[in-house]
Amino acid sequence: REFGFSVLAIDYRGFGKSDGDAPSETTVYEDARVAWDWLANRQPNPAKRFIYGHSLGGAVAVNLVAALSEVATDGAEPPTATPLDHVLPAAGLIIESTFTTLADMAKEVTWVPVGVLLSQKFDSVSKMAKVNIPVLVVHGAADRFVPLRFSQALYDAATAKKRLLLVEGGSHNNSMRAGADDYRRALSELFGLGAQPEPITARRTPRGVRG
């Protein structure tokens, strides 16, 4: 809100207050695309659109941007393509506390069933090269659920303009609060949001920020 943005947040089918069966990789991608089409029709200016995903939502956000970027770059016509797709989809992508693939994540936890691993990939790292808009990758250095090396790997795989923000003391859910000043600065410098940054000769590089 400090930058004057409205926010569209959704619960996938089977999540939160949304009805439906247990979600799958296919259905969460579909739901994100439906939400995106709704937003794009109401805000047709890509310069005023940003895509954000946290944790599992990061994988969904990466997939959405990769798919939209392919349409914009190649002119491909998937069944859901609209005229709005043939431009860069948004001004930037922000992913926070997310992982590379579900298989990688399963090595860190014990609750992912084998059947899920066989059918659900959530392979974000292989899609990062398709993302053709600026990317801000954020991770709390104290995240006990998702190792920060996953965000490092996603950052390394990105080929567009990018920045990695590691938040000292940030957990899985509070990086935006724990690193508020550096978070705002990274948004400003990468995406040109808010006040213009100080001249580089006078500006202190935030700890944990890579560009």
What is the number of residues in the chain? Answer: 211
Q: What is the pLDDT of residue 28?
A: 93
What does pLDDT average to over the chain? 83
User: Where are the domains positioned within the chain?
Assistant: 25-193+202-210
Q: What is the pLDDT of residue 73?
A: 62
* 122 pLDDT tier (thresholds 50, 70, 90): very high
94-106 residue pLDDT tens? 999 999 999 898 8
For residues 125 and 153, the answer to whether their CB atoms sit within 8 Å is yes
- CA-CA distance, 151 to 154, in Å (whole number)? 5
* 14 pLDDT tier (thresholds 50, 70, 90): confident
* 109 pLDDT tier (thresholds 50, 70, 90): confident
* 114 pLDDT tier (thresholds 50, 70, 90): very low
For residue 110, pLDDT over 70 is answered with: no
Q: Model-level pTM?
A: 0.82
Radius of gyration of the chain (CA): 17
* 211 pLDDT tier (thresholds 50, 70, 90): low
Q: What is the pLDDT of residue 5?
A: 81
Amino acid, res. 16: G
DSSP secondary structure of 146-162: S-HHHHHHHHHH--SSE
18-66 residue pLDDT tens? 898 888 899 999 999 999 999 999 999 999 999 999 999 999 999 999 9
Strand-strand pairing, 162-167 and 209-210: antiparallel
CATH topology of domain 25-193+202-210: Rossmann fold (3.40.50)
